[in-house]
Amino acid sequence: MRLRRASGRANHIQKHRDKRLLLVEDSRMFAAALKHGLELTHGINVAHCASLAAVKAEVAAAGEWAFSLAVLDLNLPDAPNCEALDFILANNVPAIVFTAAFNDSTRDQILNRGVADCIVKNEPESIERLIAAVDRVLTKGRTTVLLVDSCAASRQDLASILRRGLFAVIEASEAWEALQVLDQGETVDVIVTDTGLADLAGLALLGEVQKRQGEDAVPIIGLSEQGDARVAARFIEAGGADFIRKPFLEAEFSGRIRHAAMLQKRIQALKLAAASDYLTGIFNRRHFFMTGPRLIDQYLRRGEGTSIAVLDIDHFKRLNDTYGHEIGDLVLKHVAGRLKALVGDQHLLARLGGEEFGILFDGLDVREAFAFCERLRVELAKSKIVADDEELAITVSIGLATIEAPEAFENYLHAADQFLYMAKHAGRNRVISELALLDALAS
């Protein structure tokens, strides 16, 4: 079997160098090829074991949580009946199965036990597929489930089942706690809720999540002991992702949650592609206008004021007329890249059109946001762009508006635009907000 040289080696070799992988494989050929490929492609630290006895010794020596992932064959000389997989899962290590002894029935059984993926040996490009699967699992991490159940005993049992399935679990006893978790920005892939909550029925929770999150709403799976099929029908018709009646098979429960999470991640990946600006790769105007109002609603519900900024590249038309649109595009990509590096994921950044960018700040009052914008302005002025062997310097003007009460999203943006207009007419390369105006009047 031939292992292709990984493309983009220099870009990927450092990606997982801080992680350890346990490789359980008794075939010397496969073990050597996998160890070499994983270390070469991802920089991951691979510990190889050829038997269950060696696995137990390695895990005992390394300690709990030492391994980020295990790749293992189902059948080993001293463990012919999946005993190695049982041991790995019992020690809370996520697993990818790589085996020749496989059929559709076995695959379904293994996946329902919480295995991250199953790849068959001796198929074309099986090693390349495994290396890609390792990257995918290590990058995305575990699926996070928000479990909402008013009954403590039931919630504890469900949480235990989920953790055995290698899900990360956030528990909430009431609907308001679940909504608070979402408002605080916790990463949640699936919500599992009993429909008979003490403070809010499951249908009402479903509606509230959809109202707050819109198109990006987390999928919700309903649970109920009621045998009436109409309860399930109403839940699904209202937008629920799935409905499970108690009692249920543990494998079915975990499998349906995993399926809902997988679909959600695929949908989010498609939405991310649609939300990206074609030139700069950051979010586009449509995403800014769709996501901004929901985020502001969350901030205001938490009792936090926030701010919105509109940033414009100074003299961009002159630059385009002088150097051409190709250099203009280069400048836009440069500014977007620097902004993305400086703003990070905490705040919402988008290209609004042309040379104009928008930033919606999370948790910064007007003084903090003003200081943040000043840092952006200074850093962008320091950065240089080389075009046709000529070094170009750019500056930006920024308008910053405070958000303290519910209004139409366009009103916030219009206020920031007005401050941007003032910054342009005051000489450019500056930040103007009501704070700057008040400070000027006070002096």
The pLDDT assigned to 199 comes to 57
Provide the pLDDT confidence category of residue 161 given band limits of 50, 70 and 90.
Answer: confident
Per the CB < 8 A criterion, the answer to whether 341 and 408 are in contact is no
For residues 431 and 292, state if they share a domain. yes
Same domain, 237 and 158: yes
Regarding whether 303 and 432 lie in a shared domain, the answer is yes
Taking 60 as the threshold, does the pLDDT of residue 326 lie above it? yes
Q: What is the tens place of the pLDDT at every residue in 107-141? A: 666 766 767 778 888 776 788 888 888 887 776 66
CATH number (domain holding residue 44): 3.40.50.2300
Same domain membership, residue 292 and residue 436:
yes
The domain boundary, picked from 110, 137, 164, lies at 137
Is residue 3 in a domain? no
Same domain, 127 and 176: no
Q: What is the pLDDT of residue 112?
A: 63
Burial (CB count <10 Å: 0-12, 13-18, 19+), residue 3: middle
pLDDT of residue 166 exceeding 90: no
Q: Where is average pLDDT lowest: 4-18, 19-33, 158-172, 182-196?
A: 4-18
pLDDT of residue 4: 37
